[in-house]
Amino acid sequence: MVELTAAGKEISSELATLIEGRIVGNITDNGQIDTGFMVNSVYSISSERDSYNEALVKAMARAVREMSPKASLAGADALVAVGAEYAIWQEMRKSFAMKAIDQTKKDIPDIVKRVSMKRRLE
């Protein structure tokens, strides 16, 4: 049970990091960059990684806007968020977040396999 929980957290963390990068790429590919605040406000949190402060610093360096407070895991293993408060409107206009999730679905089996193999070797 402990091994499965740890493996699940590692898998979730890897997926969150991958989705974070794809969201940034999708915002760029969609041409949704004006000041650079939104694209730099993307972050992920997991037991292994927390990029909120880095995103806050990078976003605030691009434009003086308000970034949403840091999201809470609240029992989840990982999360990905966009701190720009207006990001939802951009997402509804041309998806970057849901698109990133859809793009990542195909990677789940490989990540699960890699983490499982790594844990067997430990």
Model pLDDT for residues 69-87, shown as the tens digit of each residue = 999 999 899 999 999 999 9
Query: Looking at per-residue confidence, does 29 or 115 come out higher?
Result: 29
- Kindly tell me if the per-residue pLDDT of 2 is higher than 50: no
* Mean pLDDT calculated for residue range 57-69: 94
DSSP codes joined into one string, 21-61: HHHHHHHHHTT--SSSHHHHTEEEEESS-B-HHHHHHHHHH
Euclidean distance between CA atoms 53 and 60, whole angstroms? 11
- Average pLDDT of every residue of the chain: 92
Euclidean distance between CA atoms 66 and 63, whole angstroms? 9
Euclidean distance between CA atoms 50 and 17, whole angstroms? 10
Euclidean distance between CA atoms 55 and 59, whole angstroms? 6
Vertex 103 angle, CA 67 and 20, to 5°: 25
Q: Which pLDDT score is estimated for 116?
A: 85
Q: Which two tokens stand for residue 108?
A: 């789940």
Residue count (the chain): 122
* Mean pLDDT calculated for residue range 107-121: 87
Asked if 83 and 68 touch (Cβ cutoff 8 Å), the reply is: yes
Owner of token pair 């430990």: 122
